[in-house]
Amino acid sequence: MDYLDYRSGSEVHAYRPRIFRLTDKNDVDVFNELIGNPDLIILDTLQRQLAELMQIRNPGRRLQHEDTKVLLNAHLGDLGFHEYGVWVYFPWSNRLIHLVDEEEFYELRTSRNQFKITREEQDILRTKKIGIAGLSVGNAIAMTMAMERICGEIRLADFDTLDLTNLNRIRTGIHHLGQNKAIVTAREIAEIDPFLQVQVFSEGITPENIDLFIEGLDLVADECDSLEIKLLLRHKAKAAAIPVVMETSDRGMLDVERFDLEPDRPLFHGRIEAFGPLPEGPMPAELRMQYLMAIVDYHQISQRLRDSYAAIGHKITSWPQLASAVILGGGTTTDVSRRLLLGQFQLSGRFYFDTEKITDPINLQL
Phi-psi sector, 163: left (phi>0), alpha (psi -120 to 50), beta: beta
- Residue 178 shares a structural domain with residue 257: yes
For Cα atoms 102, 103, 106, give the angle at the middle one, nearest 5 degrees.
80
- Residue 76 shares a structural domain with residue 201: no
pLDDT in tens, 188-206: 999 999 999 999 999 999 9
Residue 2 has pLDDT above 50, yes or no: no
Mean pLDDT of 30-42: 96
238, 240, 333 from 258: Cα distances, Å: 9, 11, 14
Mean pLDDT of 310-320: 87
The pLDDT score that the predictor gives to residue 5 is 36
Q: Are 6 and 91 in contact (CB under 8 A)?
A: yes
The pLDDT score that the predictor gives to residue 7 is 34
Strands 153-157 and 129-133: parallel
> Of the residues 58, 83, 113, which one is the last residue of a structural domain?
113
Residue 304 has pLDDT above 90, yes or no: yes
The pLDDT score that the predictor gives to residue 365 is 65
Mean pLDDT of 269-279: 86
Beta strand residue intervals within the chain, DSSP E: 18-20, 41-44, 86-90, 95-99, 129-133, 153-157, 197-201, 219-222, 244-247, 253-257, 349-352
The pLDDT score that the predictor gives to residue 362 is 79
Spatial distance between the Cα atoms of 100 and 110, rounded to a whole number of angstroms: 14
The pLDDT score that the predictor gives to residue 283 is 80
The pLDDT score that the predictor gives to residue 6 is 35
pLDDT in tens, 213-258: 999 999 999 999 999 999 999 999 999 999 999 999 999 999 999 9
Confidence class for position 277, pLDDT limits 50, 70, 90: confident
> Of the residues 113, 133, 158, which one is the last residue of a structural domain?
113
- Residue 125 shares a structural domain with residue 251: yes
The pLDDT score that the predictor gives to residue 9 is 47
The boundaries of the domain holding residue 184 are 119-270+324-358
Residue 4 has pLDDT above 70, yes or no: no
Confidence class for position 314, pLDDT limits 50, 70, 90: confident
Q: How many CA atoms lie within 13 A of 311 on its CB side?
A: 12
Q: Are 275 and 291 in contact (CB under 8 A)?
A: yes
Residue 112, judged by CB atoms within 10 A of its CB (0-12, 13-18, 19+), counts as exposed
> Of the residues 60, 86, 113, which one is the last residue of a structural domain?
113
The pLDDT score that the predictor gives to residue 358 is 92
Cα Rg of the chain (Å, integer): 23
- Residue 264 shares a structural domain with residue 169: yes
Please tell me the total count of domains within the chain: 2
- Residue 139 shares a structural domain with residue 176: yes
pLDDT in tens, 151-175: 999 999 999 999 999 999 999 999 9
Confidence class for position 50, pLDDT limits 50, 70, 90: very high
The pLDDT score that the predictor gives to residue 8 is 41
Mean pLDDT of 20-44: 96
Q: Is residue 167 part of a domain?
A: yes
The pLDDT score that the predictor gives to residue 274 is 87
Q: Are 124 and 342 in contact (CB under 8 A)?
A: yes
- Residue 335 shares a structural domain with residue 211: yes
